[in-house]
Amino acid sequence: MATVKCSIPKGTRDFLPVEMARRNYIFDTIRSVFRTFAFEPIETPSLENLSTLMGKYGEEGDKLLFKVLNSGDFMDGVDFSQDYHKVAPQICDRGLRYDLTVPFARFVVQHRDQVVFPFRRYQLQPVWRADRPQKGRYREFYQCDADMIGSTSLLNELELVQMIDMVFGKLGINVCVKINNRKVLAGIADMIGAPDKMVDITVAIDKLDKIGLDNVRAELAERGLTAEQIQALDPVFSLSGSAAEKLSALEAMFANVETGLKGVAELKELFGYINAAEPRCTVELDLTLARGLNYYTGAIFEVKAMDVQIGSICGGGRYDNLTGIFGMPDVSGVGISFGADRIYDVLTELNAFPEGLEQAARVMFINFGAAEQAACIGIAARLRAAGISTLIYPDSAKMKKQMDYANRKQVPFVAFVGESEIKDGTVTLKNMTDGTQQTVSVDKLAEILG
């Protein structure tokens, strides 16, 4: 058999035990906050029908979908001289999910008789995007989503901000929550006389932080906006001051733009709730925030780490009719997604993971031989029953080898059970941090290690 080079696809990663311990710390923190706000867990398949996924993420999103070839003789009868976009649906009818929100909308419609509305769900699962791998951007990564569906109340948006504040407070990450409203963006498009260019405008200005204002202007021109229309956007880009001051200025600009005025009213109400709630994190109105996904219709959110240069680490927004695509119209929802992989990178750069996460065992028993091993088995069983992670070294190797193993695995306590300990019903316990030793009864061991 030929030797195969050990490798994995670009944009994917293996995770060592230390990395998994740190990732689980992030997942557990996020999950605990979701539960605190009474969200319920669900899961959906990695594979979805392409008809579920296509057309929900905009033109650029559709290009990043991983499509899965049909099984069997999928090429039979296919004319490959056709354009790729005509060929693809004939050879692929499934794809890896791009996010968790569209599958959630499908889930809600499919299980409408089994869930209670308003429905609050959370979901922690991987997603896939055929993106160009770079720092903070992977082809396979986890999302941690929370959504409320079946309610139009802006209190839901407030709770999302509160959850963001609580999660990053627990993780020790200083963040800024940026908020905008897609109705405001639609109002801007109307105001400059380009209502049909709403998607083009949002896709372009969503890149403002990445490519700069001049390049955004160039892209808007490429997307068909006139020089006058692009220039008419400058007052929006140059707005400054508090959220209240920006909204007052917008209100004046939107004197005859109904959609824009509705967006301003929603933002005023939301910022009123936020000011009353007094979150610890920074919350600001960012009128250049667009979020490129087509299904957003109201408030949109993006969260940036303030002490690390990286893309957004959390985002989301309001979608008024995503379930309508699947035959269940007029069901509004709103949600956020925490990017666990980018959060991991932030905590790594800040050196902010708690100590001891990587400890697999609280105590390790030294193996002196068959008789001593037998005694250790019973004691270890009692400790494990008490919830204490316990390891017995599997071989009666030299003491130095066993102690080196305990050190490398960062086991905080090593237990010795020899002839005298077996006779007395005791254990000699060594603290690997300060080197102290004590002999304790087996009955007291769990209490001391706990």
- pLDDT at residue 285 is higher than 90: yes
What amino acid occupies position 50?
L
What amino acid occupies position 420?
S
CA distance 17 to 37: 30
Query: Mean pLDDT, to the nearest integer, of 436-447?
Result: 96
Q: Which residues, other chains included, contact 44 with Cβ-Cβ below 8 Å and sequence gap of 6+?
A: 97, 100, 103, 104, 106, 107, 123, 125
Long-range contacts, stretch 57-60, CB < 8 angstroms, 24+ apart: 57/98, 57/99, 57/102, 57/292, 57/293, 57/294, 57/295, 58/199, 58/203, 58/292, 58/293, 58/294, 59/203, 60/203, 60/292
CA distance 444 to 425: 11
**What pLDDT does residue 294 have?**
72
CA distance 25 to 340: 10
**What pLDDT does residue 333 have?**
95
CA distance 447 to 342: 39
Tell me the sheet residues that pair with 299: 181
Question: Side by side, which strands form the sheet with 92-96?
Answer: 47-49, 92-96, 67-69
Q: Which band of pLDDT confidence, cut at 50, 70 and 90, is reported for residue 84?
A: low
- For residue 61, CA distances in Å to 98, 110, 220, 291, 293 come to 8, 24, 18, 12, 8
Q: Which band of pLDDT confidence, cut at 50, 70 and 90, is reported for residue 171?
A: very high
- pLDDT at residue 92 is higher than 90: no
Kindly state the DSSP code that residue 133 receives in the 8-state scheme.
Answer: P
Q: Which band of pLDDT confidence, cut at 50, 70 and 90, is reported for residue 292?
A: low
- pLDDT at residue 211 is higher than 90: no
SS3 of residue 416 by DSSP: strand
Element (H, E) at 56: none
CA distance 340 to 144: 7
Q: For 17-45+98-350, give the CATH class.
A: alpha beta
Give the other-Cβ count within 10 Å of 191's Cβ.
22
**What pLDDT does residue 293 have?**
65
**What pLDDT does residue 85 have?**
65
What amino acid occupies position 62?
D
- For residue 430, CA distances in Å to 8, 105, 246, 271, 427 come to 42, 55, 63, 56, 10
Q: Which band of pLDDT confidence, cut at 50, 70 and 90, is reported for residue 299?
A: very high
| Low-confidence winner among 203-212, 270-279, 318-327, 428-437 (lowest mean pLDDT) | 203-212
Q: Does domain 363-449 have CATH number 2.40.50.1020?
A: no
Q: How many residues does the chain have?
A: 450
Query: Mean pLDDT, to the nearest integer, of 175-184?
Result: 96
| Low-confidence winner among 113-117, 293-297, 328-332, 420-424 (lowest mean pLDDT) | 293-297
**What pLDDT does residue 381 have?**
97
Q: pLDDT digit string (tens) for 30-69?
A: 999 999 999 999 999 999 999 999 888 877 888 899 998 8
**What pLDDT does residue 268 have?**
97
- For residue 131, CA distances in Å to 59, 136, 210, 316, 393 come to 14, 12, 16, 20, 45
Q: Which band of pLDDT confidence, cut at 50, 70 and 90, is reported for residue 136?
A: low
Element (H, E) at 243: helix 243-253
Work out the mean pLDDT of the chain and round it to a whole number. 92
CB 326 within 8 A of CB 189: no
- pLDDT at residue 212 is higher than 70: yes
**pLDDT top residue among 337 and 322:** 337
Query: Mean pLDDT, to the nearest integer, of 301-328?
Result: 93
- pLDDT at residue 16 is higher than 90: yes
Q: Which band of pLDDT confidence, cut at 50, 70 and 90, is reported for residue 389?
A: very high
**pLDDT top residue among 381 and 215:** 381
